[in-house]
Amino acid sequence: MSGADPLTVRGATVWPGCLDAASQAALMRDVQAIWAAAPPRHPVTRWGRPLSVGMSAAGALGWTSDRRGYRYAPAQDDGRPWPPIPPALLALWARLLPQARPPDSCLVNLYRGAARMGLHQDRDEADLTQPVLSVSLGDEALFRLGGVARGGRTESLWLRSGDVLALSGDARLIHHGIDRIRPGSSDLVPGGGRVNLTLRVAGA
Ligand code: SIN
Ligand code: MN
């Protein structure tokens, strides 16, 4: 572990360079093991439009979306359970968020090319008092943060490989999204792109 002191952007806590190069490489191997058990796919929205982000998950519950809408599911579409959350991520959560319950869900997002994620709130979890922890690996990404209410002013920052960010307390429900990545800015992800790992307490 390494990195600068945490900073606060619109209530979100950012730990720049929290994971050193060796920790990032180890985590990338953990991600590849997750993908071997639960390959990334592009879920469709309720309106049938595939998301540009490739998604997989680990933990007891995985976030998923289809024509019925989005939700947390206890298994993959084919009935197989999601693979376990890597111990290094559980340890990172415990170190940075010692007051929180352990996470039961890890979304594994893969951004390649023009993939992006529109402004949204994370609010499908049963207990919204519990924080969200997000780990960036690979290419840089332009992360946009707004307020709890829709609309209004937003602020953007570039997230780099090894950066970690938490949404907690008053910032737990702020709007956020990824405008774009900078393809080729890192060679950590095999085949290129950016991986984002989002740890959450999804169940009651
Ligand atoms: C998300 O909000 O689900 C992902 C955010 C990110 O990719 O950094
Ligand atoms: Mn989110």
Contacts of residue 52, defined as CB under 8 A and 6 or more positions apart, other chains included, come to 42, 111, 114, 115, 116, 117
pLDDT digits (tens, 9 = 90+) for 83-125: 999 999 999 999 999 999 999 999 999 999 999 999 999 999 9
pLDDT score for 1: 56
The predicted structure's pLDDT at residue 91: 98
Task: Please state the domain count of the chain.
Answer: 1
pLDDT value, residue 89: 98
| CATH number of the domain residue 91 falls in | 2.60.120.590
State how far the Cα of 137 lies from the Cα of 25, in Å rounded to an integer.
9
CB 188 within 8 A of CB 25: yes
- Of the candidates 111, 104, 125, the one whose C-alpha atom is nearest the C-alpha of residue 58 is 104
Tens of pLDDT, residue by residue over 146-160, are 999 999 899 999 999
Q: Is residue 21 part of a domain?
A: yes
- In this prediction, residue 3 carries a pLDDT of 79
Q: Which residues, judged by CB distance below 6 Å to any ligand atom, belong to the binding site of ligand 1? A: 107, 109, 117, 134, 143, 176, 178, 196, 198
Report pLDDT for 4. Answer: 81
The domain of 16 spans: 7-37+86-200
> What pLDDT score was predicted for residue 199?
98
Residue 194 in domain: yes
Cα distance between the two ends of the chain: 31
Among 9, 109, 143, which is best to mutate for testing ligand 1, by the most ligand atoms less than 8 A from CB?
Answer: 109
In a domain, 42, yes or no: no
- Report pLDDT for 88: 98
Task: Report yes or no on 68 lying in a domain.
Answer: no
Task: Look at residue 65 and tell me if it is in a domain.
Answer: no
Phi, then psi, of 21 in degrees rounded to 5: -60, -40
SS3 56: strand
**Which residues, given as ranges, of the chain have pLDDT below 50?**
none
64 inside domain: no
Residue 173 included in any domain:
yes
Domain contains 23: yes
pLDDT of residue 81: 97
- Nearest atom of ligand 1 to the alpha carbon of 141: 8
Q: What is the pTM assigned to this prediction?
A: 0.96
Nearest protein CA to atom 6 of ligand 1, as residue = 196
